[in-house]
């Protein structure tokens, strides 16, 4: 890595020549110079904001997403819908007259949930809403009928390991945060299988519920039996917890037809505005095109994908061409663990010194509050300065750490990264559930998100120097 940094440094030196506001060209720019350079983008930033929020492009990312989401529907890795989505975007990006529109092949997981249902048989008949978890095995064709043990944590499960044998483990873990609580979804089956359970039902990782289960990926472990696993609603998890607390015996019948097929061919979808001066240098904006197989994947991550497309459209509409290449990547198979992004990274990392910043929006496109940023202190100061250009819409904050499964590979290797920060208060109400539809998206909020995304990506792509790393 040091070697790469050294080359980068030497490459950058000549670019200071003649551009510095100082007389003495042997010294790099001061922060004051950089501030002035950024202030020079005030009018362009206003033009972008005007076009996206008030002008001709008002509601465009929302309207485009609505047609896409209603036409294609949900887009699970390996599904025909995902293929259709990629074809759709390939045409749409060409029709938008973006440059170098192309597809990069990736092999992706292909899991289908099949038919599934759960019935409580004791103490009373009650239909339990479930969503099988990605990669879960099926039950035997006749299903599994077993007594339930309800636990609130892995600790409790381990303490009551003897009782769990031959039972269905129901986890009624409290929702603390997605990051903290999601391990019950990803490891719940493995932990239950280790103590001899025959299936696991996990309280959905959701901060609010109207009896909806929320799906997501889960992981088996080598040498641990693979048991069927699904999420249930918060309401049913709490009810079974209350019943078991009263000493009531609970029996559940579970049937799942899930199936894993061989990996499928898929693609990352790419389009560009080629840079005018440093076309080999890249500012990458992105979201993932795949989704879960429920709802419409409008929020996760239709919104992120479509504001990223919108960034290129807005820049093109304004007749702008940044010095560096602005590259849109719509990832495939993010939900299965960033499969498309991993392959993209492996293929393109030889050019890592030319990646200026990697940006991903994958945590909603609600009311934006700023930018999450990963990078060194100098780069952070520059990004903070760029965010002042968004004062007209009052979205100027820079938070610690960019988040995004798909850009992680680059950030771990030192490339600066950015993610959109927005109001997440309702995000986990809908996440990975039937509720993730256009109904939760708001055109005004998407306009603001698109403006933030465009100003940041354009200015970074057009500044004389790459961000320091």
Ligand X SMILES: *[C@@H]1O[C@H](CO)[C@@H](O)[C@H](O)[C@H]1NC(C)=O
* Positions in the binding site for Zn ion (CB under 5 A): 300-301, 362
Closest CB to Zn ion among residues 48, 330: 330
Q: Are 446 and 304 in contact (CB under 8 A)?
A: no
- Residue 285's nearest CA partner among 374, 356, 390 is 356
What is 86-133 written as a DSSP string? Answer: HHHHHHHHHHTT-EEEEEEEEEEEEEE--SEEEEEEESS-EEEPEEEP
Closest CB to ligand X among residues 70, 280: 280
15 near ligand X, rule: CB under 6 A: no
CA dihedral of 182, 183, 187, 188, whole degrees rounded to 10: -70
Closest CB to ligand X among residues 125, 162: 125
* Number of neighbouring beta carbons within 10 Å of residue 51: 22
Tokens 């520059």, residue located:
382
What is the pattern of x (binds ligand X, CB under 6 A) and - over residues 314-353?
---------------------------------xx-xx--
* Min separation Cβ 86 and Zn ion, Å: 16
50 near ligand X, rule: CB under 6 A: no
Closest CB to Zn ion among residues 301, 462: 301
**How far is residue 289's CA from residue 66's CA, in Å, rounded to a whole number?**
14
CA distances (Å), origin 288, targets 120, 186, 259, 333, 334? 37, 20, 24, 8, 6
58 near ligand X, rule: CB under 6 A: yes
Identify what 145 binds: ligand X, Zn ion, none; CB under 5 to 8 Å per kind. Answer: none
CA dihedral of 322, 325, 326, 330, whole degrees rounded to 10: 170
Please calculate the CA angle 237-241-247 and round it to the nearest 5 degrees.
150
145 near ligand X, rule: CB under 6 A: no
Identify what 351 binds: Zn ion, ligand X, none; CB under 5 to 8 Å per kind. Answer: ligand X
Number of residues that bind ligand X (CB under 6 A): 13
Work out which of 15, 20, 59, 186 binds ligand X, going by CB under 6 A.
59
Closest CB to ligand X among residues 193, 395: 395
Closest CB to ligand X among residues 104, 112: 104
Residue nearest to ligand X (CB): 280
Q: Would you give the distance in Å from CA 278 to the centre of its chain?
A: 29
CA distances (Å), origin 279, targets 250, 251, 274? 64, 63, 6
What is the pattern of x (binds ligand X, CB under 6 A) and - over residues 396-415?
-x------------------
* Min separation Cβ 351 and ligand X, Å: 4
Tally DSSP H helices, then E strands, for the chain: 16, 16
Identify what 300 binds: Zn ion, ligand X, none; CB under 5 to 8 Å per kind. Answer: Zn ion
388 near ligand X, rule: CB under 6 A: no
Closest CB to ligand X among residues 394, 439: 394
* Min separation Cβ 180 and Zn ion, Å: 18
Strand 259-273 to 99-112 pairing: antiparallel
* Min separation Cβ 44 and ligand X, Å: 22
104 near ligand X, rule: CB under 6 A: no
- Residue 197's nearest CA partner among 239, 154, 249 is 154
Q: Which of 334, 335, 360, 385 is the catalytic position?
A: 334
280 near ligand X, rule: CB under 6 A: yes
425 near ligand X, rule: CB under 6 A: no
Total number of residues shown for the chain: 469
Is 115 a catalytic site residue? no
Catalytic residues: 334
Which spans of this chain sit near ligand X (rule: CB under 6 A)? 58-59, 125, 280, 347-348, 350-351, 369, 394, 397, 443-444
């Amino acid at each position: 890595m040091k070697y790469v940094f050294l080359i980068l440094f030497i490459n950058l030196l000549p670019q200071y020549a003649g551009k510095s506001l100082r007389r003495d060209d042997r010294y790099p720019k001061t922060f004051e110079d950089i501030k002035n350079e950024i202030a020079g983008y005030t009018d362009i930033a206003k033009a972008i904001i005007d076009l996206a929020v008030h002008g001709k492009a008002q509601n465009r990312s929302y309207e485009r997403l609505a047609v896409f989401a209603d036409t294609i529907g949900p887009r699970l890795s390996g599904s025909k819908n995902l293929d259709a989505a990629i074809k759709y975007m390939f045409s749409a990006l060409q029709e938008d007259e973006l440059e170098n529109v192309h597809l990069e092949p990736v092999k992706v997981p292909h899991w289908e949930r099949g038919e599934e249902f759960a019935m409580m048989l004791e103490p009373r008949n009650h239909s339990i809403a479930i969503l099988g978890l990605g990669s879960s095995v099926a039950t035997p064709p006749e299903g599994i009928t077993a007594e339930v043990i309800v636990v609130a944590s892995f600790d409790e499960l381990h303490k009551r390991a003897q009782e769990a044998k031959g039972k269905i483990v129901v986890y009624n873990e409290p929702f603390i945060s997605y990051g903290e609580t999601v391990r019950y979804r990803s490891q719940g089956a493995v932990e239950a299988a280790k103590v001899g359970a025959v299936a696991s039902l996990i309280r959905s990782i959701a901060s609010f519920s109207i009896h909806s289960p929320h799906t997501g990926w889960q992981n088996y472990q080598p040498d641990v039996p693979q048991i069927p696993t699904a999420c249930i609603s918060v309401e049913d998890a709490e009810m079974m917890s209350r019943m078991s607390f009263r000493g009531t015996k609970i029996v559940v019948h579970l049937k799942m037809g899930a199936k894993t097929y061989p990996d499928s061919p898929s693609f990352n979808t790419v389009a560009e505005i080629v840079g005018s001066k440093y076309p080999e240098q890249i500012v990458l904006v992105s979201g993932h095109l795949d989704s879960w197989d429920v709802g419409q994947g409008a929020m996760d991550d239709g919104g992120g994908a479509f504001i990223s497309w919108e960034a290129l459209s807005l820049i093109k509409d304004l007749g702008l061409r940044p010095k560096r290449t602005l590259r849109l990547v719509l990832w495939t198979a993010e939900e299965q663990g960033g499969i498309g992004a991993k392959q993209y990274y492996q293929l393109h990392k030889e050019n890592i010194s030319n990646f200026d910043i990697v940006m991903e929006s994958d945590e909603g496109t609600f009311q934006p509050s700023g930018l999450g940023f990963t990078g060194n202190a100098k780069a952070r100061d520059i990004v903070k300065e760029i965010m002042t250009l968004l004062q007209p819409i009052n979205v100027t904050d820079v938070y610690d750490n960019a988040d995004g499964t798909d850009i992680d590979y680059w950030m771990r290797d030192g490339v600066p990264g950015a993610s959109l920060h927005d109001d997440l208060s309702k995000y986990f109400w809908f996440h990975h559930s039937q509720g993730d539809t256009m109904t939760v998206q708001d055109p005004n909020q998407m306009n603001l998100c698109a403006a933030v995304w465009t100003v940041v990506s354009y200015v970074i792509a057009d500044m004389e120097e790459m961000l320091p790393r």
